[in-house]
């Protein structure tokens, strides 16, 4: 094989690696996510379709605002780590009324509390800044 062909082949291989790296680096997840969790025997309200791209890219919300793995009270999850479904840790549907659990206990174990605190909490903060974000049930769960 001539040195010119070897050089072209090498350039092509390097270009392939660079493009694969770019594809991985720019992957910010799916455009939208339908919040359908197996922890609920049936959904009483319509499912929320969450615009992941808009929140991450347009609103510039960092990945660690939602994705997390806690060790010693710190979020050690970093971009590029595996993204687990929320219900893999928040594995119960809704906290019982009795015994009364702390907010932290509810968020830690119960999907309903974790999702609503994260989403509604952020939306309330955004509203305080004078921007509009949904906080009422039907604004996220359309009929």
% of the chain at pLDDT higher than 90: 78
What's the Rg (C-alpha) of the chain?
Answer: 21
Q: Are 95 and 109 in contact (CB under 8 A)?
A: yes
Is pLDDT larger for residue 15 or for residue 79?
Answer: 79
pTM (whole model) above 0.95? no
pLDDT at position 25 is 42
Token pair belonging to 63: 């990945």
3-state secondary structure of 66: coil
pLDDT at position 103 is 96
Domain parsing of the chain, residue ranges: 1-29, 31-140
- DSSP strand E in 24-124: where? 33-34, 49-50, 70-71, 74-75
In this structure, which CATH number among 3.90.10.10, 3.10.450.50, 3.40.50.300, 2.60.40.10 belongs to the domain 31-140? 3.90.10.10
pLDDT at position 114 is 97
Q: What Cα–Cα distance (Å) separates residue 46 from each residue in 42, 84, 86?
A: 10, 23, 18
pLDDT above 60 for 123: yes
Is pLDDT larger for residue 19 or for residue 102?
Answer: 102
Token pair belonging to 12: 């092509």
């Amino acid at each position: 094989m001539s040195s010119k062909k070897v050089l072209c082949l090498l350039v092509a291989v390097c270009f392939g690696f660079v493009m694969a790296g770019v594809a991985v680096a720019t992957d910010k997840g799916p455009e939208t996510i339908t919040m359908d969790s197996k922890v609920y025997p049936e959904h009483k309200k319509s499912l929320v379709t969450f615009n992941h791209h808009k929140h991450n890219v347009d609103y510039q919300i960092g990945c660690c605002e939602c994705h997390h793995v806690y060790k010693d009270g710190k979020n050690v999850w970093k971009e590029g780590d595996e993204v687990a479904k929320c219900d893999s840790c928040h594995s119960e549907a809704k906290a019982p009324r009795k015994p009364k659990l702390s907010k932290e206990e509810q968020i830690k174990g119960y999907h309903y509390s974790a999702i609503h605190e994260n989403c509604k909490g952020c939306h309330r903060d955004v509203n305080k800044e004078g921007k509009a974000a949904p906080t009422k049930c039907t604004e996220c769960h359309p009929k």
